[in-house]
Structure 1
């Protein structure tokens, strides 16, 4: 049944990118997927015998893969079923295994079949990691060092690539599928994968010790605010306040570091946007998963190989202003689009939101000032700060703690600008008290006792909050 996919055997004129010299033991990579996806773990130390067995298994995998490349028309495999491909690989394993110095167990044979199948149809060693929903980040520092963040904890896996060429080939396969390229002339790439994951990669000469890859995965099901409260990301009082803030169309900036959960929180906040409102999103790499029906999504585009055709976030934002949006959401403000974002917040698009990289609410406003300056826009500092005070109503600070948990550490209102200084008041905070014996962060959320500057606005919009929501928890 599989014969129609066969082709004449190629003359041995050289090695494929995956080929391994029979005279030389390959890099141990055969048992890259020792467990089911949920059990990818830190690589345990190996005994000498176990290491030798891994080398033999790697050799078998390489031989099977080479034979598959030489005997099958891989371009026709798009029309083959998974069962057909796996059966052909299984037959090749049965042909090659008897000539090897070890006897394969059924588990080892199945692993080899899985690995070859992923090489042919998927992302090779990365396939299982990408399919594991508990993994949020995949970080590669060369062919032998693959790390993951799983359940908030960073750990090294036993996943390995055969060599640098193997890693480069898998990377090229990933980026070419989404219309991007990476080579010596373009040694880095940023792309969005079909499942919504964000990939950034660098190769030599930019990356000194081998190809570096970062894959940021996103949940298929967005967390809502109630779930964030259950997970301890914020308190019920915080959630009630933020619900009122979104429904009353306050302009919100979510501040935090890389991987702190800014996009997750932004998606959760979007659930409070009314169904009658038109929302336009602008992003460098589309990551937002808003929970409304009337959403227009825009994504920037890098220049082509000739250096033309670039569409920046600022270009998208300018066009978004002409598309009758009620709210504009910028996935991340990081460049000269900042001035258009501030102007949009000041010109009838209240309720707009964005994220920014900063360590505190005060730092977030300073970053806004710096980005305006770096954009080459000459505006007096006093005027700029007054514009920020008028445009931004609320700064939410979210942080990734030492134990990997994410928490909203501060909710701060911007109340105005006095004597060239932005007036800010913190309404809620997270008080970090220490580390438990099992290395978990200890602390609790507190109300600072400061009454919201927007209390009257909440009343006018029918979102009046109970007075005790501001009652101080600070001693």
Structure 2
């Protein structure tokens, strides 16, 4: 195992020796390097060292076995020590161990380079998409403590449908029926929640329930949404290259998407100036627009939108008026403490308030068992679902 101190020591010794002489990595070269170092050269030792070195130069290196484990959504490196994973029930340690800060840094740099970016002391963090679709974020030590931090977000192959989310406990019977009605009524909506609450998962399932005759254009910073839909067009932003040129911003892609005859415009994650263009799109006849947004509750959404819009130069009053006119529903996800279960917590509606501001009223709240209860916004939701906007 890569975390075995004896094997790790052999690996570092062999790596240093192989680096001094060019050639293909293979068991024979590993055996020769072990002999030259006066180390044991049994078949098991040679193969263990060879496999450790081979994993270190292909795919995700020592993290590769974790990426294929059933249900894993995140692989996390917090400097040297055990690597951790999340299978939807909270973070847990694994038997994969990174022995040193040097190995963490080397792995982070190789992963980021695979995504076309640079990672060094001059550029100590990066967010890239790997060739297999995995999203990788890395931050070097000493900015990250106790060592270089790597976060891998793994896209689920094939995606979840609403039926699977119901089976997993994210949606109750009432929740499935309600979100289906939101999609069928072509309401504009945001899926909100904290990090790891399942926003992208739920949004992908909802897009999979869209009428097959509708054209969906999805705009994302890094391609994560993989809904099962026959008319899906994905646009992905691009960071600057090593020379600092060639960047394509999310906001620019939102504008391009509006010219592509979308029946539904989707912004995978609303977190910057692109919110202005999304609000504008929702107010120009593009029904059913949607996206995800980090927020602590449905009630916090207007404040989050306002902050993002102000950063883009849109005045407060204009942001709130466009929000009231363009956004219908907020689907807020929670993650239960202890069990780590992700679930739909509440559904809110956006209404006008005093002074021309927007506020979100809870229309339906779901308890931990998924049972619904009506809130003050239930009448407004009923009108929206019945087509009385």
On whether the aligned pair clears a TM of 0.5, the verdict is: yes
Give the Cα–Cα distance (whole angstroms) in 1 for the partners of residues 173 and 28 of structure 2: 56
Equivalent in the alignment of 1:265: 202
Pick the aligned partner of 2:291 from 341, 354, 361.
Answer: 354
Deviations 1:224-252 (A, max 9, x none): 11111111112111111111211211001
2:253 is paired with a residue of what secondary structure?
helix
2:373 to 441, 447, 455: 447
Find out whether 1:56 has 2:6 as its counterpart: yes
- Measure the CA separation in 2 of the matches of 1:330 and 1:131: 28
The answer to whether 1:393 aligns with 2:319 is no
Give the 3 Å change call, closer, same or farther, for CA 211–117 of structure 1 in structure 2. Answer: same
Structure-2 change in CA distance of 1:394 and 1:457 (3 Å): closer
1:133-282 matched pairs, under 5 angstroms: 133-282=70-219
| Residues 188 and 200, structure 1, Cα contact 8 Å, conserved in 2 | yes
- Aligned equivalent of 2:362, options 403, 408, 426: 426
Where does structure 1 lack aligned partners over 5 or more consecutive residues?
Answer: 1-29, 33-53, 78-84, 433-442, 462-475
Cα–Cα, structure 1 residues 234 and 215, in superposed 2: closer, same or farther, change >3 Å? same
Summarize deviations over 1:377-427 as a string: whole Å, max 9, x none.
235x3x432321111100000012212110110011224445535364433
Contact 1:175/1:191 (8 A) holds in 2: yes
Secondary structure of the residue that 2:81 maps to in structure 1?
coil
Distance in 1 separating the partners of 2:203 and 2:321: 25
Residues of 1 paired with 2:291 and 2:320: CA distance?
Answer: 18
**How far is 1:255 from its partner?**
0.7
Higher relative contact order (CA 8 A, sep 6+): 2
Structure label with greater radius of gyration: 1
Q: Given that residues 234 and 407 in structure 1 are in contact (C-alpha distance below 8 angstroms), is that contact kept between their aligned partners in structure 2?
A: yes
1:137–1:214: 8 Å Cα contact kept in structure 2?
A: yes
Per-residue deviation, 1:156: 2.7
Backbone CA RMSD of aligned residues:
2.9
Kept after mapping to 2: 8 A contact 1:389/1:422:
yes
Of 253-262 and 194-203, deviating more is: 194-203
Residues 1:345 and 2:277 aligned together:
no
Which of 315, 325, 342 lines up with 1:406 in the alignment? 342
Q: What SS does structure 2 have at the residue aligned with 1:234?
A: coil
- Could you report, residue by residue, the CA deviation over 1:77-109 in whole angstroms, capped at 9, with x for unpaired residues? 7xxxxxxx5x54786699689954xx9795x77
Query: Shift in Å at residue 326 of structure 1?
Result: 1.4
- Call closer, same or farther: CA 1:90–1:408 in 2, change over 3 Å: same
1:288 matches 2:225: yes
Structure 2 residue matching 1:218: 3-state secondary structure = coil
Q: Which consecutive unaligned segments of at least 5 residues does structure 2 have?
A: none
